[in-house]
Structure 1
């Protein structure tokens, strides 16, 4: 299993609506199914202030290129992504048009003597 961590900012005025869209059972079932079908074992989003962090555990079958292609062909995923982008604010150091940026792990307790 591989864990990836991503960050993005959110427009402060949209936090309540973003939370509501991510409540249990609120995301469209097709979006949740697409995530699971790509061997994403767990996905959590955390919020502090106007910064969000996403933690994603990927199984051995996860293929980011294949996932991107499937997502591009899935109208439900495309609609969800377009809606979520209205809440997200790119990090100031990210490339133009970016949302979630992958974070670099710099410490692991399991690697310590």
Structure 2
């Protein structure tokens, strides 16, 4: 099993943040199925202010490239991602169109 941690910001608007959280309390079934089909075994998202932190536990075969290809071929995932851009904003220093940024582990107990 592998673990990945990623970060992303939301637009700093309390109403938009509330809507974003509402969507994530009951994600579309097609989105959940897509996440599982890609090899993601567990996923959690945490928020402080407008900063999001995602933890993903994956099987050993998981690949971000494969997931991206699967997502590109899935119209429902594309619809979800387009909707989520209403609420999300890229972290400073990211390339145009990039969302979640993979974080580097700097400490382990």
Q: 1:78-107 CA deviation, whole Å, 9 max, x = no partner?
A: 001111111111111212221111110000
How many residues align structurally? 107
1:15 matched residue in structure 2: 17
Unaligned ranges ≥5, structure 2? none
Structure 1 runs (4+) greater than 6 angstroms displaced: none
| Higher gyration radius (CA) | 1
After TM superposition, give the deviation of residue 61 of structure 1 in Å. Answer: 2.4
Task: Report the alpha carbon displacement of residue 39 of structure 1 after superposing the two structures with TM.
Answer: 1.2
Q: Which runs of 5+ in 1 are unaligned?
A: none
TM-score normalised by the chain length of structure 2: 0.93
Using the alignment, how far apart are the partners of 1:8 and 1:66 within structure 2?
Answer: 21
Q: Secondary structure at the match of 2:47?
A: strand
Computed over aligned residues only, the root mean square deviation of the Cα atoms, in angstroms, reads 1.0
Q: TM-score, normalised by structure 1?
A: 0.89
The 2-side partners of 1:43 and 1:61 are apart by: 16
